[in-house]
Amino acid sequence: MDIRVEKATTLKPLPDPNTLVFGKSFTDHMFLMNYDAGQGWHDARIVPYGPIALEPCAMVFHYAQEVFEGLKAYRAPDGGVRLFRPTENARRFQSSCERLCIPTIPEEDFVAAVRAAVKADERWVPDQPGTSLYIRPFVIATDASLGVHASHSYIFSIICCPVGAYYKEGLNPVKIYVEDEDVRAVRGGTGFTKCGGNYAASIRAGERAEEKGFSQVLWLDGVERKYIEEVGAMNVLFKIDGKVVTPKLTGSILPGVTRRSCLDLLRDWGYVVEERLITAQELFDAAESGKLEEAWGSGTAAVISPIGTLAWGGKSVEINGGQIGPLSQKLYDTLTGIQWGTEPDPYGWSVEL
């Protein structure tokens, strides 16, 4: 893939890394590539960051034929920039595209595009502890037509924004409640893809959770409404009676790169890891008998987000006294050490730009 580079003529001042708000300030450039039926993907280019002009009838606005990814670039102590398992994102992007009838992009082209986007704006990768450059690849259907069918034209883009430290004062456990009204996804639907539509369906529950003083919701499966699926927009893992248990990937759950990395590390450390169905009832029973030792969400943004309080119906349980548990902390330290290049990486997960 040839990537044409058109440099911005004036560069923006870099924002203050101490006051960065996630997703508000974007870098100087963006990656763009077009797809047209008969021509395939073409015109890969880096151009100055700016608006994309679309017809009001463009398909993405009406039928949400769109998927995205999320990963980060990290500044290592030697000044170099690193990516974390970008090929995993490339694969997941392909599987999301297939489900949404969007033409796929070869893994190596996806990774090359991510590298080109970050290289064009390398000066934007912050170097304060805990900071990084968030990378958002996405593809949208651009056919100028209201007919419901797969679009014949698409735009693939990558935009980047610097992000501040997620945890400024240590890892604060969050309060979560079990959502038993709205569901995020069902088997046979798009739950396993990273598509915007999944988020649209999840916003209401998230807003209600905040109104009630919780950070996020614990999603149940959409059919029986009893099995745990995810927490907010993160995967969820539990330590119950010494074992680590996480919902298995049934099709309605997003296969997180952080989830997978946690499971790999845990197995390496000798833990028994179970990927299986787990009911909310089992979880609360374990909490009441003192066997629910730790609970945490996993995702690129927060890496590990410990759960301190779980509420369901009228019940509320505290996990590990509302404090982060030792295993959650070890996972966080190990993963962030590998990502920022401050710890050895025997797995080859962290790759140089």
Paired strand residues for 35: 41, 154
Please state whether 67 falls in left (phi above 0), alpha (psi between -120 and 50) or beta: beta
- Least distance (Å) from ligand PLP to the CB of residue 202? 8
Nearest to 28 by CA among 124, 125, 146: 124
Nearer to ligand PLP, 44 or 117 (CB): 117
H or E, element range at 187: none
CA–CA distances in Å: residue 336 to residues 110, 205, 260: 24, 30, 15
Give me the 242-261 binding string for ligand PLP, x by CB under 6 A, dash otherwise. ------------x-xxxx--
Query: Which C-beta is closer to ligand PLP: that of 34 or that of 250?
Result: 250
Spatial distance between the Cα atoms of 184 and 72, rounded to a whole number of angstroms: 25
DSSP code at position 215: S
Give the footprint of ligand PLP on residues 59-118 (CB under 6 A): 70
Determine which residue in the list 230, 282, 293, 294 makes contact with ligand PLP, applying CB under 6 A.
Answer: 230
Question: Closer to ligand PLP at the Cβ: 8 or 273?
Answer: 273
Minimum Å distance from CB 62 to ligand PLP?
22
Using CB under 6 A, which of 30, 46, 233, 286 touches ligand PLP? 233
Minimum Å gap between C-beta 227 and ligand PLP is: 16
Q: Which is nearer to ligand PLP, 258 or 336 (CB)?
A: 258
CA–CA separation, 75 and 128 (whole Å): 9
Cite the DSSP H helix spans in the chain.
59-63, 86-99, 107-120, 196-211, 257-268, 280-288, 326-339
CB nearer to ligand PLP: pick between 247 and 341: 247
Shortest distance, position 198 Cβ to ligand PLP, whole Å: 6
**Minimum distance between the CB of residue 184 and ligand PLP, rounded to whole angstroms?**
7
Q: What share of the chain is helix, strand, coil (3-state, %, to 5)?
A: 25, 30, 40
Output 318 or 333, the one with its CB closest to ligand PLP: 333
- For 131-172, give the DSSP string: -EEEEEEEEEE--B--SSS--SEEEEEEEEEEE--S-SSS--
User: C-beta of 42: minimal distance to ligand PLP in Å?
Assistant: 28
Residue 311 bridge partners (DSSP): 177, 316
Min dist. Cβ of residue 168 to ligand PLP (A): 21
Binding string to ligand PLP for residues 284 to 313, with x set by CB under 6 A, is what? Answer: --------------xxx-------------
Q: How far is the CB of 303 from ligand PLP (least distance, A)?
A: 9
Q: Count residues contacting ligand PLP (CB under 6 A)?
A: 14
Cα dist from 90 to 82, 111, 305, 313, whole Å:
16, 7, 24, 39
CA–CA distance, 135 with 84 (Å, rounded to integer): 11
Closest residue to ligand PLP in the complex (CB)? 256
301 vs 317 by CB, closer to ligand PLP: 301
Residue 234 touches ligand PLP, criterion: CB under 6 A: yes
Q: Which of residues 163-222 bind ligand PLP (CB under 6 A)?
A: 194
* Nearest-angstrom CA–CA distance, 31 and 158: 5
Q: If DSSP codes are grouped into helix, strand and coil, which group holds residue 33?
A: strand
Q: Which residues sit at the interface with ligand PLP, rule CB under 6 A? A: 70, 194, 230, 233-235, 254, 256-259, 298-300
